[in-house]
Amino acid sequence: MELSYTIFLLLLFIITGETVYATGGVKPTKLFVFGDSYSDTGNNPKSLASSWKTPYGETFPGKPAGRYSDGRVLTDFVGLRLIEVPLQVSKDCTSNQTMFMGIKSPLPYQWRKYGGNKLQNGLNFAYGGTGVFDTGNLQPNMSTQIGFLDGLIKEKVYTKWDLESSLALVTVSGNDYGAYTSSGGSEQGLSSFISHVVNQIGINIKRIREMGVPRVLVTSLQPIGCLPRETIFSSYQQCNVSRNAASNFHNQLLQQVVTGLNNSTKDSSFLILDLFTTFNTVLKNKGDFTGSLKFNTPLKPCCEPTSSDASCGSLDENGKKLYTVCNEPDSTFFWDSVHPSQAGWRAVYLTLRSSLNRIYT
């Protein structure tokens, strides 16, 4: 009986081109992305975003392209992981072929009218600098981003089948907390605000699931205290312990929310991509285990501003650079004061492989 079922699944793959699993699920063919600069691949306006300025994009694609890195970001590597998964026809039988038919990094939402058949890969609704709530940068927050997909569903750009064969990635890198602090929020009120943010994340990812997306990946908060904007005060030698404690509290609450949602759906629809542990692991090991160049000074960014009021990509009134760039971006985990380099994201991706594999179980 098991052999006949396996043969049936294999024939179904040959006929339809879809990877089918013994659990009855279908391999995702579309990726919908919501969040901030950790997943934005070009939505922010060119007139406002540093991601469209030199030296961003110098590694990939060789010029600024809207990504907050020298190259690829988390979105690109999640898509890459899907491409590399071997074809499975049952729980006990794996083909000796690797099927390169996964999800390509989806088109930024702002370019959707020019996307043509690229829309079949999904869409990226993430905008750098945004948060779960409004952060003051005038770009759409996460609820609004999800509303964009809802609008496309109502316009029948995406069908029920499109959603059932899709995957969602949701990134939260802490812009809400930066906005809270800059607007005068107190340390005493931070715990309550973190609870407010995480509760809204739960509402948002549940909404995505109810729209028809069967699996939602949501990132934990990275160790904010290890970002170069924090470690610069110790000459890039030490992380800020109190900032990391706040990240840890956020993640504890997020785990509770996700566990509750999975218990209610009874199908493990929600999965946390643990950036907190992953960042810490890569930084501690200096990237040694990834097979790439060693991150000799893992807390130091490749692109550094030369003054306190400048940032990567800044120029003075005469067009002079107010930043320096290292010779080998591949040897640094961080690209700028907040964002990983392409090599950094690759190291994160390699560390997250076991979690990403769960998409197919």
- Which one is catalytic: 37, 51, 269, 331? 37
Burial class (CB in 10 A: 0-12, 13-18, 19+), 192: exposed
Spatial CA neighbour of 148 closest among 26, 67, 293, 33: 33
Question: Looking at this protein, which amino acid is placed at residue 311?
Answer: S
Spatial CA neighbour of 109 closest among 155, 140, 83: 140
- Which one is catalytic: 69, 274, 336, 341? 336
Please name every residue paired with 167 in a beta bridge, in sequence order, or none if there are none. Answer: 31, 215
- What is the distance in angstroms between the CA of the first residue and the CA of the last residue of the chain? 21
Rounded Cα–Cα distance for residues 213 and 154 (Å): 15
Question: Looking at this protein, which amino acid is placed at residue 210?
Answer: E
Residue 40 is a catalytic residue: no
- Which one is catalytic: 51, 69, 339, 341? 339
* Residue 340: DSSP 8-state: B
Residue 339 is a catalytic residue: yes
CA distances from 331 to 37, 108, 234 (A): 21, 28, 20
Residue 76 is a catalytic residue: no
Active site residues per annotation: 37, 336, 339
